[in-house]
Amino acid sequence: MLFATPIILVAMDRLDTLEAQSIYILREAYAKFDQLGLLWSLGKDSNVMVWLAKKAFFGHIPFPLLFCDTGKKFPEMYEFQKKFTAEWDIKLIVEECPPIEEIDPTLPPASRSAARKTEALKRLIKKKNFQSVIAGIRRDEEGTRAKERVFSPRGTDAEWNFKQQPPEFWDQYKTDFPAGTHIRVHPILAWTELDIWRYIKREHIPVVPLYFSNKGKRYRSLGDHDITFPVSSSASNVDEIISELESTKIAERSGRAMDHESENAFERLRTDGYM
Amino acid sequence: MRARMLLNDFEPTVICKASKMAPTSGNNPSPSINLVIAGHVDHGKSTLIGRLLHDTNSLAEGKMAAVKAMSERRGMPLEYAFLLDALQAERDQGITIDTTQVLFNSEKRSYLIIDAPGHKEFLKNMISGAAQADAGVIVIDVEEGIQEQSRRHCYLLRLLGLKELIIVVNKMDLIEYSQRIFDHLKKHIIEYLSEIDLVCKAVVPISARDGQGLIDLSEKMPWYTGASFMDTLDQLPEANSTNHLPARLPVQDVYKFDDRRIIAGRIESGTLKIGDELLFTPSNKRAAIESFEAWNATSQKTKAIAGESVGIILNEEIFIERGHIASLSTDAPIETNVFRGKVFWIGNKPIIAGDRLKIKIGTAEHTSEVQSIENKIDLSSLEAIDADLLEKNDIGEVVFRTKSTVALDSFEKNHRIGRFVLIDEYETVGGGIVSMQGYADQRGLYDVTSKNIMAVSSRVDINAREAYNGHKGGIIWLTGLSGAGKSTIAMEAEHQLFSKGYQVNVLDGDNIRFGLSADLGFSPEDRTENIRRIGEVAKLFAEAGILVITAFISPYKQDRDRIRAIAGDIFHEVFIEADIEICENRDPKGLYVKARNGEISDFTGISAPYEKPRNPELIIDTGDQGIGESTTKLLSYIDEKFSI
Ligand SMILES: Nc1nc2c(ncn2[C@@H]2O[C@H](COP(=O)(O)OP(=O)(O)OP(=O)(O)O)[C@@H](O)[C@H]2O)c(=O)[nH]1
Ligand SMILES: [Mg+2]
């Protein structure tokens, strides 16, 4: 042969880069922690995470998915869960959230309601002895999440000590920690809402239909039906959502009541162990 | 109540077009530039970013109103920094505690802007942000000028690999936009940067708070001939890919979820394709890439580039584990158990020689000991000054010795594999970049130049030999000045050991120099080769179950280190210590006299260096004790380590 075939390098685009990084993080978590679970809230972000886990582990997710059931999710979400638990071959652990009466009454109402989830998660972590829980939070959602580490240590009561976050650089994550504490792993911290939808489009990832416009409204962020509100939108498919997001000025979590109850309501929730 | 109000905010939905938003590039936006904004505390970093987001209409609806309310509640004028300082504690104290990241689109491209805290207390957080940067901006308050953290941040950014910086001179409003004061400061800035080998891309005068010079040029500074801050950013080159560097794939894991055995990892640099022969360091096993595996892929992948997280199946089942680095066999990483690092120390306790730290490089973790602190950088004079320790936030050079062989690159050659993180128990206490200056790649010692030879494995195993001899085999490597007593102690120990039934043999300078190394002189290269030969011979004896005692000056640390690397645990370094004056007084062979008279050149201690062992297994001080005592000390060590 006279000429060797030249290798043509196709540069990685933003989604390729994010995907590769998230897979790297998931594999790091799995390599380091035996007792590991992934929070599957059934929202778009956690579906993307499940998808990334399928990719990271070549179709076999080697740890359970966790679902903290408030009993107040939309019916469409429970249906979705049933369908894809089977289709994606998922090992699911469901933890019932404690009733509102068991939650700190000094919290503002929506926060108090959201804190049920934190409580369920704490109980689950204790029960199963989890060293690490993977959560699908993103920096662009909210200011305190923007300050997060990829591997974020939590105290014995799952609390976040944001004033003493460990240094984290060169993708060397915190994997040494005292017994009784745990690490929250955030594989999609660097993704934006737009990235999530572009990736959903590229990969054809299924999502709960509540994200699509129905009678002029759609949900941008899905939580409990009593503390999550739809936005006005005519976007009825993934492409339309993408073009809506390319120009919107409305914050993604504006429909989440607990974020806005006071200046630091959400920070308080998170300091106590909320995602 | 507030919740209700905010809900009303987005009804009906207003979709407004941002004025200076990036052109949305279809479904494939290219990766953004990671840009860190650093500098001394309070010089206006967060304000700069906040104001930039505001002036480019990049903020979500309601965000400015919220910040206005927060400022009013604290009785202060509108504080743009609150857009970034999301923690209540940060706003209450008016200081950034932790780093944050925001995606920002200019007309030209997108940026991941990293806000770094400037307070000394939070340097670890500054590094957490800055370590991801492709480009950097240092903000300097025009009234305060270059301060301690301005210097430290510049130096750190250089160490982290940046070659050029943009400098922003902020708070020009406080000096009535005076050109004279600006020019004066600019001169100092450029000088400082050039001293640490940083190119100053631009010095841009602005007022972050008042939005002057940020997006457009400011009318208040007609004398300024450069570009606005944002235009300066847009002139930054694209971030470099690492595709052109040698291929490096640190093994993250080996999966066997089904009948495939998949090697998983991220390609840190270079490219790989099917058929490439991979060499795994430090195991030195080889196998070729048979396929790239993927879930739900549309087509079979045949090659992969830097940054990809891949899964590989090899054509042969060789032993591989997390931490190994795969490379092409033609361009492998360095193998060593000793290296020098330029370290930034962020631990609360200082680092000193003898500290045991965990080192993370790629996906590998190694136990290591700090062999020495070489120096510390004085950030004002930029001099490397002698130091025994590095305190929190210090930068300096440290030599590390690892227990087992490490695969790495020098930072200069490949920054992705040439950097490491230091862990002390649960805490990350520092990081650094690798320099191999003064240390040799030890790979050559395992690599065999001639290809058609095969190692033959013996049918007598080592345990059987030990049981037969009644003791373990090994190397007692005596090192020290001429006249320190190496040969005398060696001969005496051999005699006594032999009478106790030991299989023992002494290799001494003269019997080797007349035979095995008859072709060598005393130049540094020849000395190195001499020691290499002796090391190999000693290893052969030791493997045959014999206790070998060597008695050579072996002045170079790196030569001794290499033997340790070849021989591993069976190598015991014993420092026969005696001051040069004592040795010169003893002068049993009259050599010191000749050396002093210039009749012998390259004489160790006089005209050639002797490098003391830093962590020998045993030190025998012959300065103030007799041969009897010294030998006894050696024998009790041997008894302890070699009896079975
Ligand atoms: N007069 C004047 N004040 C400014 C300007 N830029 C920032 N400031 C003020 O300087 C103070 C510090 O600003 P920050 O943006 O918080 O400083 P920083 O560099 O982010 O500080 P750390 O993150 O804590 O290191 C605030 O009170 C700002 O309002 C400016 O251009 N002119
Ligand atoms: Mg700041």
DSSP letters spanning A141-158? G-TTGGG--SEEEE-TTS
Tokens encoding B16: 């407004």
With contact defined as beta carbons under 8 Å apart, do A118 and A272 qualify? yes
Identify the DSSP state of B611.
-
Bridge-partner residues for A38, per DSSP? A65, A134
At B21, is the pLDDT very low, low, confident or very high (cuts 50, 70, 90)?
Answer: very low
Report the half-sphere exposure of B210 (CA within 13 A, side-chain side). 16
- CATH architecture assignment, domain B462-642: 3-Layer(aba) Sandwich (3.40)
With contact defined as beta carbons under 8 Å apart, do B357 and B424 qualify? yes
Q: Domain check: are A33 and A148 in the same one? A: yes
Q: For the segment B150-192, what is each residue's pLDDT rounded down to a tens digit?
A: 999 999 999 999 999 999 999 999 999 999 999 999 999 999 9
Mutate to test the interface with B, among A154, A250, A267, A269 (most CBs of B within 10 A): A250
Q: For the segment B86-96, what is each residue's pLDDT rounded down to a tens digit?
A: 999 999 999 99
Within a domain: A5? no
Q: Is A264 on the interface with B (CB under 8 A)?
A: yes
Question: What CATH number has the domain bearing residue A49?
Answer: 3.40.50.620
With contact defined as beta carbons under 8 Å apart, do B615 and B571 qualify? no
CATH code given to domain B2-23+30-234: 3.40.50.300
With contact defined as beta carbons under 8 Å apart, do B588 and B483 qualify? yes
Residue span(s) of chain B under CATH 3.40.50.300 come to: 2-23+30-234, 462-642
Ligand 1 pocket member B125 (CB < 6 A) = no
Q: Which residue has the higher pLDDT, B459 or B543?
A: B543
CATH code given to domain B249-328: 2.40.30.10
CA distances from B496 to B54, B300, B476, B588 (A): 84, 69, 15, 23
Q: Domain check: are A30 and A153 in the same one? A: yes
Are B309 and A27 within 8 A, CB to CB?
yes
At B455, is the pLDDT very low, low, confident or very high (cuts 50, 70, 90)?
Answer: low
Beta-strand relationship, B389-390 and B356-361: unpaired
Are B28 and A231 within 8 A, CB to CB?
no
Ligand 1 pocket member B42 (CB < 6 A) = yes
| Distance (Å, whole) CA B269 – CA B244 | 7
Q: State the virtual CA torsion across B52, B57, B63, B68 in degrees, nearest 10.
A: 60
With contact defined as beta carbons under 8 Å apart, do A257 and A230 qualify? no
Within a domain: A25? yes
Are B132 and A169 within 8 A, CB to CB?
yes
Q: Report the residue from A7, A28, A176 with minimal CB separation from B273.
A: A7
Q: Domain check: are A37 and A132 in the same one? A: yes
Q: For ligand 1, what atom is nearest to the CA of residue B116? A: 23
Q: Domain check: are A105 and A221 in the same one? A: no
Within a domain: A126? yes
Closest-CA distance of chain A to residue B99, Å: 6
With contact defined as beta carbons under 8 Å apart, do B287 and B314 qualify? yes
Q: Give this complex's ipTM.
A: 0.94
- pLDDT beyond 50 at B20: no
Q: Is A15 on the interface with B (CB under 8 A)?
A: yes
Q: What pLDDT was estimated at residue A205?
A: 97
Q: What pLDDT was estimated at residue B122?
A: 96
Q: For the segment A210-250, what is each residue's pLDDT rounded down to a tens digit?
A: 999 999 999 998 888 888 889 999 999 999 999 999 988 88
Radius of gyration for chain A, computed over Cα atoms and rounded to the nearest angstrom:
19
With contact defined as beta carbons under 8 Å apart, do B246 and B331 qualify? yes
Q: Which residue range is the domain that position A115 belongs to?
A: 16-160+178-192+263-271
- CATH architecture assignment, domain B337-435: Beta Barrel (2.40)
Q: Domain check: are A144 and A214 in the same one? A: no
Q: Is A164 on the interface with B (CB under 8 A)?
A: no
Q: For the segment A109-124, what is each residue's pLDDT rounded down to a tens digit?
A: 888 888 899 999 999 9
Q: Domain check: are A106 and A151 in the same one? A: yes
Identify the DSSP state of B208.
T
| Distance (Å, whole) CA A71 – CA A48 | 23
In the block, tokens 């965990």 appear at B358
Please give the mean pLDDT across all residues of chain B: 89
CA distances from B62 to B1, B5, B15, B65, B80 (A): 16, 11, 14, 5, 14
Q: Domain check: are A50 and A140 in the same one? A: yes
Q: Which residue has the higher pLDDT, B359 or B605?
A: B359
CA distances from B508 to B487, B491, B512, B548, B556 (A): 7, 9, 6, 10, 17
Cis peptide before B23 (omega within 30 of 0): no
Q: What pLDDT was estimated at residue B29?
A: 58
With contact defined as beta carbons under 8 Å apart, do B269 and B248 qualify? yes
The number of folded domains in chain A is 2
Beta-strand relationship, B100-105 and B110-115: antiparallel
- pLDDT beyond 90 at B99: yes
pTM of the model: 0.78
Phi, psi angles (nearest 5°) of residue B591:
-80, -35
Q: Domain check: are A141 and A61 in the same one? A: yes
In the block, tokens 């040439």 appear at B418
Q: What pLDDT was estimated at residue B638?
A: 95
| Residue among A63, A57, A55 at smallest CA distance from A33 | A63
Three-state secondary-structure class, residue B322: coil
Q: What pLDDT was estimated at residue B184?
A: 97
| Residue among B249, B222, B440, B450 at smallest CA distance from B332 | B249
In the block, tokens 């457009």 appear at B216
User: Residue B386: exposed, middle, or buried by beta-carbon count in 10 A (0-12, 13-18, 19+)?
Assistant: exposed
